[in-house]
Amino acid sequence: MGPRTPTLVVPVDLKKKPWEQELPLHNRWHPQIPPVAEVKAGEFFRIEMVDWTGGVISDNDSASDIKFIDLSTVHYLSGPIKVSDVDGIPAKPGDLLSVEICNLGPLPGDEWGYTATFDRENGGGFLTDHFPSATKAIWYFEGIYAYSTHIPGVRFPGLTHPGIIGTAPSKELLDIWNERESEVQENGLKSLKLCEVLHSRPLANLPSPKGCLLGKIDKGTPEWERIAKEAARTIPGRENGGNCDIKNLSKGSKIYLPVFVEGANLSTGDMHFSQGDGEVSFCGAIEMSGFLELKCDIIRGGMKEYLTPMGPTPLHVNPIFEIGPIEPRFSEWLVFEGISVDESGRQHYLDASVAYKRAVLNAIDYLSKFGYSKEQVYLLLSCCPCEGRISGIVDSPNAVATLAIPTAIFDQDIRPKSRRIPVGPRLVRKPDVLKCTYDGNLPITRNPAAST
* Secondary element (H or E) of residue 377: helix 374-383
- Residue number, 1 or 222, with CB nearest to a copy of itself: 1
Q: Does 149 help bind a copy of itself (rule: CB under 8 A)?
A: yes
HSE, CB side, 13 Å, CA atoms: give it for residue 391.
Answer: 17
- Residue number, 217 or 404, with CB nearest to a copy of itself: 404
Which amino acid makes up residue 1?
M
Q: Does 389 help bind a copy of itself (rule: CB under 8 A)?
A: yes
**CA–CA separation, 7 vs 25, rounded Å?**
19
Query: Could you write out the DSSP letters of every residue in 65-113?
Result: HHHT--GGGPPPEEEEEEEE-TTSPBP-TT-EEEEEEEEEEPPTT--EE
Q: 363-366 long-range contacts, Cβ below 8 Å, gap at least 24?
A: 363/336, 363/403, 363/405, 364/127, 366/336
Which amino acid makes up residue 248?
N
Minimum Å gap between C-beta 389 and a copy of itself is 5
289 sits in the region (left: phi over 0; alpha: psi -120 to 50; else beta) called beta
Q: Does 395 help bind a copy of itself (rule: CB under 8 A)?
A: yes
Minimum Å gap between C-beta 97 and a copy of itself is 11
36, 281, 286, 380: which one contacts a copy of itself (CB under 8 A)? 281
- Residue number, 109 or 222, with CB nearest to a copy of itself: 109
Q: Does 429 help bind a copy of itself (rule: CB under 8 A)?
A: yes
**CA–CA separation, 165 vs 159, rounded Å?**
16
Cis bond before residue 31 (omega within 30° of 0): no
Q: Does 332 help bind a copy of itself (rule: CB under 8 A)?
A: yes
**CA–CA separation, 341 vs 330, rounded Å?**
31
Q: Does 171 help bind a copy of itself (rule: CB under 8 A)?
A: no
For a copy of itself, which stretch binds (CB under 8 A), given 47-55, 141-149, 167-175, 213-221? 141-149
Q: Does 38 help bind a copy of itself (rule: CB under 8 A)?
A: no
**51 touches 107 (CB < 8 A):** no
- Residue number, 191 or 210, with CB nearest to a copy of itself: 191
Q: Does 39 help bind a copy of itself (rule: CB under 8 A)?
A: no
Minimum Å gap between C-beta 402 and a copy of itself is 6
210, 416, 431, 432: which one contacts a copy of itself (CB under 8 A)? 416
For a copy of itself, which stretch binds (CB under 8 A), given 49-57, 166-174, 209-217, 410-418? 410-418
Of how many residues is the chain composed? 452
* Secondary element (H or E) of residue 424: none
Q: Does 26 help bind a copy of itself (rule: CB under 8 A)?
A: no
73, 160, 274, 376: which one contacts a copy of itself (CB under 8 A)? 376
Nearest-Å Rg of the Cα atoms of the chain is: 25
Minimum Å gap between C-beta 259 and a copy of itself is 13
Three-class DSSP category at 190: helix
For a copy of itself, which stretch binds (CB under 8 A), given 26-34, 49-57, 218-226, 441-449? 441-449
Q: Does 89 help bind a copy of itself (rule: CB under 8 A)?
A: no
7, 20, 42, 218: which one contacts a copy of itself (CB under 8 A)? 42
Three-class DSSP category at 294: strand
Count of residues touching a copy of itself (by CB under 8 A): 206
**CA–CA separation, 39 vs 272, rounded Å?**
24
Minimum Å gap between C-beta 315 and a copy of itself is 10
Cα diameter, the chain: 96
50, 231, 323, 381: which one contacts a copy of itself (CB under 8 A)? 323
70, 76, 256, 267: which one contacts a copy of itself (CB under 8 A)? 256
Q: Does 88 help bind a copy of itself (rule: CB under 8 A)?
A: no
* Residues pairing with 214 in the sheet: 26
Minimum Å gap between C-beta 410 and a copy of itself is 9
33, 47, 307, 383: which one contacts a copy of itself (CB under 8 A)? 307
Q: Does 238 help bind a copy of itself (rule: CB under 8 A)?
A: yes
55, 93, 209, 328: which one contacts a copy of itself (CB under 8 A)? 328
38, 94, 147, 199: which one contacts a copy of itself (CB under 8 A)? 147
Q: Does 5 help bind a copy of itself (rule: CB under 8 A)?
A: yes
Q: Does 278 help bind a copy of itself (rule: CB under 8 A)?
A: yes
**123 touches 202 (CB < 8 A):** yes
**CA–CA separation, 233 vs 208, rounded Å?**
8
Q: Does 55 help bind a copy of itself (rule: CB under 8 A)?
A: no
Q: Shortest CA distance to 298 belongs to which of 40, 98, 82?
A: 98
26, 30, 82, 348: which one contacts a copy of itself (CB under 8 A)? 348
- Residue number, 141 or 212, with CB nearest to a copy of itself: 141
**CA–CA separation, 140 vs 149, rounded Å?**
9
* Residues pairing with 113 in the sheet: 139
